[in-house]
Amino acid sequence: MSQNLNIASIRNDFPILNEVVNGKQLVYFDNAATTQKPRLVLDALAGYYEHYNANIHRGIHHLAEKATSAFEQSRKRLQAFLNAAHSEEIIFTYGTTDGINLVASSYGRKFLKEGDEVIISTMEHHSNIVPWQMLCEEKGCILKVIPINDEGELLMDEYEKLLSEKTKFVSVVHVSNALGTINPIKEIIAKAHAVGAKVLIDGAQASSHIEIDVQDLDCDFYSLSLHKIYGPTGMGILYGKRDLLNAMPPYRGGGEMIKEVTFAKTTYNELPYKFEAGTPNIADVVAAKFALDYVDALGKPNIAAYENELLAYATEAVKEIEGLRIIGQAKEKVSVLSFVIDGIHHQDIGVLLDQQGIAVRTGHHCTQPLMNRFNITGTSRASFAVYNTTEEIDKLVQGLHKVKRMLG
């Protein structure tokens, strides 16, 4: 397997992999839901609380300065991670969903009007459907949906047909959480811009697998969650082009986002603080930097290459399971293996694998319209990260044989 990574040593960086579940060593294949955290990140979290916990930006004492500096270093680190032109284009959020809501609510409410069209795709997570539905309902806009083929790829011809001068916003997922499909977002963005529409990319699933260069992509907004990139839960970022963010009204009111408050009128702070009302998630933001350092030390291309080997191995290995059908067979995909087995409910698969210490995700993956497209109620999904091994995939295959025996 991969020549550039020492997987045994990587596994030692993740204490949770030593957990015993139902008497067996944990096999964790639910990485698309959240990745595990390396020791480096856990130490950074504890280190923050042990040594420099303080509220940021307003304090003049030593701890406050240290915490503020670490917080802002994380912003710079994320700027580099996405190759954003300016650090104030990085807005800290609670996660991908929060970032999408920010844009739909702030940009959408200010700039979209009745009759305008918003385009999403069939494979969107509910987080990239519902905020736009709420906006469309409120403003009288029309939601259009890009269809997909049986392999789980966007029909780009159909996308072009949907585009017109009425299109004001396009919001699509970079990588499908349920299928693993990598969408051609650069092309999607260019085509949207050609009709004058703005574009948001839901990067929740892409950011741990794919190098992201927001300037090269030319996307207007990019939203992601750090907990899917080996970082802490409860934080993410929204990247937005500076001019757009400047033109948008604040999303939430409170501390930090103001310049001056009187009862007559409040003036707002500048970017990025305008969008960061209240005390942020300081500890997790600080620790996020270490997650990115960890990913960069391994090298994203190395991680992707190794994960692709795991995906290829698993795709081949599950062929021996009779009645198993892979949902999502795009030519370009990340290490997500979503499948159904004839005559067996996905929840039964999940319960019986769990008894064998194997964690997969089962259900509709918060993509009900996509499940409807495939005429299924859900799938079982094994998603692989850099610390997974082919031996673990062998355990999954043995586990599935057992599931079939028990339910047969």
Active-site residue list? 366
Q: What whole-number distance in Å separates Cα of residue 308 and Cα of residue 5?
A: 13
Amino acid letter for position 247: A
Collapsed DSSP state (helix, strand, coil) of residue 103: helix
Closest to other proteins by CB, 109 or 364: 364
Rounded to whole angstroms, how far apart are CA atoms 86 and 108?
23
Task: Count residues near other proteins (CB under 8 A).
Answer: 17
CA atoms within 13 A on the CB side of 202: 26
Among 193, 242, 364, 373, binds other proteins (CB under 8 A): 364
Closest distance between other proteins and the C-beta of residue 137, in Å? 23
Q: What is the C-alpha to C-alpha distance for residues 276 and 99, in angstroms, rounded to an integer?
A: 11
Among 352, 353, 360, 370, binds other proteins (CB under 8 A): 352
User: In angstroms, what is the minimal distance from the CB of 357 to other proteins?
Assistant: 10
Work out whether 378 is an interface residue with other proteins (CB under 8 A). yes
Q: Are 171 and 144 in contact (CB under 8 A)?
A: no
- Find the binding residues for other proteins in span 310-349 (CB under 8 A): 345-348
For other proteins, the closer CB: 367 or 389: 367
- CA 364 – CA 381 distance, rounded (Å): 10
**Cβ 407 to other proteins, closest distance in Å?**
6
**Taking Cα atoms as reference points, which of 205, 207, 252 lies closest to residue 91?**
252
Is 406 among the residues that bind other proteins (CB under 8 A)?
yes
Q: Tell me the closest approach of the beta carbon of residue 350 to other proteins, in angstroms.
A: 8
Residue from 94, 355, 359, 390 that binds other proteins (CB under 8 A)? 355
What minimum distance in Å lies between the beta carbon of 371 and other proteins?
11
Range 112-171, binding other proteins (CB under 8 A): none
Residues 242 and 271: beta-carbon distance below 8 Å: yes
**From 152-160, 215-223, 233-241, 362-370, span contacting other proteins (CB under 8 A):** 362-370
Tokens of 159: 């996308």
Candidate segments 76-84, 258-266, 334-342, 358-366, binder of other proteins by CB under 8 A: 358-366
* Helix (H) or strand (E) segment spanning residue 403: helix 390-407
Does 401 help bind other proteins (rule: CB under 8 A)?
Answer: no
272 lines the binding site for other proteins (CB under 8 A):
no
- Of 252-260, 299-307, 331-339, 400-408, the segment contacting other proteins by CB under 8 A is 400-408
Which of 362, 383, 388, 389 is in the footprint of other proteins by CB under 8 A? 362
Report the sign of the C-alpha dihedral through residues 216, 185, 224, 358, in that order: negative
Our CB check for other proteins shows the closer of 166 and 345 to be: 345
d(CA 400, CA 355): 12
Adjacency order of strands within the sheet including 117-121: 90-93, 236-240, 221-225, 198-202, 167-173, 117-121, 142-146
**Residue 59 interacts with other proteins (CB under 8 A): yes or no:** no
Please select the residue that binds other proteins; options are 351, 372, 398, 401, rule is CB under 8 A.
351
- To the nearest whole angstrom, how small is the minimum distance from the Cβ of residue 94 to other proteins? 20
1-9 own/partner pairs: CB under 8 Å, 24+ apart: 1/306, 1/309, 1/390, 2/302, 2/305, 2/306, 2/309, 4/299, 4/302, 4/305, 4/306, 5/298, 5/302, 5/303, 5/306, 5/386, 7/306, 7/386, 7/387, 7/389
Q: Which two tokens stand for residue 267?
A: 């003036």
Over its C-alpha atoms, the chain yields an Rg (Å, rounded) of 22
Among 4, 22, 69, 149, binds other proteins (CB under 8 A): 22
Residues forming the site for other proteins (CB under 8 A): 22, 345-348, 350-352, 355, 362-364, 377-378, 402, 406-407
